[in-house]
Amino acid sequence: MKKLLITSLILGAFIGEIKAQDTLRINFREAVQIGLNHNLTYQSLQNQQEVLKIEKKAAVLGHLPSLNLSNNTFRQIGQQFQQVEGELIVTTEANNIITANLNTNMPIFNGARRINTTRATHYFEEAGKYGLERAAQDVMFNVAQQYLQVLLDQELYRIALENLENQKKQLEQIEGFVQAGLRTLSDQYNQQSEVARLETVALNAKIQWETDAWVLAETLQLEPNVLPVVEPVSIVPMESEYFNMPLDELFDLALQRRKDFQQQQLMENGNKRMLAASKAAYYPQINAFFNYNTFYTSFDERSINAQLWQIFPQQSLGFSLNIPIFNNFNNKANVVRSKVQFHNQQLERMALERRIGQEIKLSYENYKAAIKREEATKVQLTAAVEAQSAISERFRLGVSNFVDLSQANQQLVTAQSDYAQALYTLFFQEIILRYALGVLEVGEQTAE
């Protein structure tokens, strides 16, 4: 309760000092949502996903016949050729002409290009979804890191202020001892120097707090001159559910849950299909077609409807066969490009698989180290509290000197700072491990 009250007072003083700029009070969930709404990479991937959806739909509809309608209306002025009673008569006149064409084309066989292209676009669209989910995890991870850093800075500033206030009270006590003749004047001067030093320490802590708050504001893409005021989270040390799992099981879990790895697998499958689609150009192509053409000319005295719909309509229906023989190596170049893209995608997938193994190992070892550090700093803090209390009492009784008291105070502050950092580091290591495993759910209640 005392810490909560002190923190509230610090926040009030801090906000009062930065009243020149606007503030935005946010909790962790809100910070993540703001980050997703404003992150440029995430927004770009969302836009790209719309393109992938359309490409997938276009590939599916590519199995249907194409249908096109064209029309031309124009006036032809100059020499006109007309055939009248077996003779070709040339006159200079103006001829009004209307033409209409309806064409449809249906691929019958094209070396399975349509099938492979359709499957490829399906893989690419699914890969885009996984990439979007991983990008959301990236945003949450970065926001969590900076959010917790601001909270740690806030806690360190609170410790600095609390220590400063204690030393000011200690100064008042020593001044009383000096007046009573129980302490020398040098003790008073030493304490005054210590208070001045701690004022600088508190000022630096506040500057660091505000600096990291501005970094978070930049990550969240807040409006200029808007500083986030983050709400506290519950930092409770607890062992992760993944901590007791063997490394090989953690690695297998990461391969199953990592969205970026699943994205690479789908991209590899998609490029394999695109390679097969490019090889279709080596095979003959068979298409079915239907054409309907008609026209109107002002040289004919009959009506427009009669000419367009009764006299001049023509229809053609049939099949076309196209056999590639020599295409300036264009088909070969397309196949080579597709093959290289497929092989490069395989390399990226294997590189990511190796990187995942390294990330799992590193995050696992760091998590174990963070647990040991939290346990050690907790013992350190308990011992420092007892030592400072004992030496303070001995100093009051005149048994200990000022140097012993000063060292005890510094050790206590160091222990408080180390324990606070250990708590936040352990809390964040849990997030790092979940991020490396791919099980970090965006929007989950990370902070209460």
Separation CA 295–CA 293 (nearest Å) = 7
Q: What is the pLDDT of residue 399?
A: 76
Q: What is the largest CA-CA distance in the chain?
A: 142
Contact assessment for residue 195 and residue 171, using Cβ atoms and an 8 Å cutoff: yes
List of the chain residues with pLDDT < 70? 1-21, 80-90, 237-238, 443-448
Q: What is the pLDDT of residue 444?
A: 54
DSSP string, 311-343: IS-EEEEEEEEE--S--TTHHHHHHHHHHHHHH
Please count the other Cβ atoms lying within 10 Å of the Cβ belonging to residue 176.
Answer: 12
Residue type, 70: S
How many CA atoms does the CB half-sphere of 201 hold within 13 Å? 21
Separation CA 81–CA 89 (nearest Å) = 6
Contact assessment for residue 255 and residue 349, using Cβ atoms and an 8 Å cutoff: no
Q: What is the pLDDT of residue 105?
A: 93
Q: What is the pLDDT of residue 445?
A: 44
Separation CA 437–CA 362 (nearest Å) = 12
Contact assessment for residue 55 and residue 269, using Cβ atoms and an 8 Å cutoff: no
Helices and strands in the chain, H and E counts: 10, 6
Q: What is the pLDDT of residue 446?
A: 45
SS3 439: coil
Separation CA 313–CA 9 (nearest Å) = 90
pTM: 0.82
Domain boundaries of the chain, sorted by first residue: 2-38+110-283+330-437
| pLDDT tens column, 138-148 | 999 999 999 99
- CATH second-level architecture of 2-38+110-283+330-437? Up-down Bundle (1.20)
Question: Do the strands 87-109 and 314-322 form a parallel or antiparallel pair, or are they unpaired?
Answer: unpaired
How many CA atoms does the CB half-sphere of 416 hold within 13 Å? 20
- Sole residue written with tokens 């400063």: 164
